[in-house]
Structure 1
């Protein structure tokens, strides 16, 4: 089964008069960095409407999550550059109208999740962007791309915060499956590409460099201690959630999009 919003995407392109636009391979440029400065866009209401419509589209298109989340950060005062970024997302959509989220029968119901963070990636406030993807068997069931609330002082802290976000989501998924009588009681596996954050989850010693980390992020260690979660290291090249934390070149973006089960139908 493929979940698709093809008609919705076509209507959105019609609304912006971009039905015949030139398709692009990725929704965000690797070299383009958006800032709040610049000439203001003369129709901010249109910007907010289109970006709001794109938010609804991410329900079946996780490959758009990073770009749309990034655009949402400039709702209060969009500039001409921000509008150009919206049009780039629409050009990407134009070339991928027939894509959707693929769901299929899975031989297993184990839960595994990937988390990642782009440390200090925002050039404005130096906050990091977290991303995660939760799989039930072979199917992607939950994902997120979001700027962190506080500034991280190290990449380990930024990755640890991302782990806490996905741990909360997996806890909710497990609770839901238990209510439905579908949970197998196997520990969920979390994959992280930062060794420091991986060690921090299993080490009860409170390191000096993490004393400033908010207490609510440490509940992931409790989950590991009780055997609910296993946190494993994964190499950066195998990290699926890079697509939720930063713009990527075409080949890398396409490879990760395929692994998230966003396919042509």
Structure 2
């Protein structure tokens, strides 16, 4: 219990200020230590991954699937993510004028989830020297081949590219060429 409690204090340092007192107390009393860790990390999931931390996106996405029934390995993974966050507080995405066009990267793995054999796919778009749009998620279908999984990932990235093109045009961004997705 003391080891679990020391990690709880580490978690409090990082996430306490983002959680209301009532929500924090309810979570702490209703959950066992393993579920507390995973739930506490995942409550801040949207803030961390969507706003500023593409580097933990996939790990948090994988942990969120085990939120209802976490085991000891999920507690270990959640503690690992929290230790990583606490040691990389000074990292940030920096943007600078580069003159480069928007470029995107898409990738997938094929049937990597052993429970339902679905693939994960993700993309990241870069502009001004930094990433500005990204995602990592489980595909909604079961791909029959690695080529199909890659095609689904590229399709998702292409939809995002169309959206980003329209958004950047509305903002007055001038770009003469197409967006490249690798």
1:101 is paired with a residue of what secondary structure? coil
Q: How many residues are aligned here?
A: 156
1:112 corresponding residue in structure 2: 103
Does 2:131 match 1:140?
Answer: yes
Q: Is the 8 A contact 1:55 1:68 kept in 2?
A: no
Q: Which deviates more, 117-126 or 77-86?
A: 77-86
| Structure 1 residues 93 and 177: alpha-carbon distance in aligned structure 2, compared to 1, 3 A threshold | same
TM-score by length of 2: 0.78
1:67 corresponding residue in structure 2: 59
1:180 corresponding residue in structure 2: 171
Q: Is the 8 A contact 1:128 1:148 kept in 2?
A: yes
Per-residue deviation, residues 132-163 of structure 1 (Å, max 9, x unmatched)? 11012432111111111111000000000000
* RMSD over equivalenced CA pairs, Å: 2.0
1:102 is paired with a residue of what secondary structure? coil
Cα distance in 1 between the residues matched to 2:124 and 2:161:
10
Greater RCO structure (CA 8 Å; 6+ sep) = 1
Q: How does 1:219-234 map to 2 (within 5 A)?
A: none
Higher helix share: 2
1:46 shift after superposition: 5.0
Does 2:119 match 1:128?
Answer: yes
2:156 corresponding residue in structure 1: 165
TM-score by length of 1: 0.55
1:135 is paired with a residue of what secondary structure? strand
Per-residue deviation, residues 182-234 of structure 1 (Å, max 9, x unmatched)? 1424111110xxxxxxxxxxxxxxxxxxxxxxxxxxxxxxxxxxxxxxxxxxx
- Structure 2 residues without counterparts, runs of 5 or longer: 1-5, 12-30
1:99 corresponding residue in structure 2: 91
Q: Is the 8 A contact 2:112 2:119 kept in 1?
A: yes
| Structure 1 residues 181 and 97: alpha-carbon distance in aligned structure 2, compared to 1, 3 A threshold | closer
For residue 56 of structure 1, the aligned residue among 47, 61, 80 is 47
Does 2:169 match 1:152?
Answer: no
1:125 shift after superposition: 1.0
1:82 is paired with a residue of what secondary structure? helix
| Structure 1 residues 15 and 55: alpha-carbon distance in aligned structure 2, compared to 1, 3 A threshold | farther
Q: Is the 8 A contact 2:94 2:129 kept in 1?
A: no
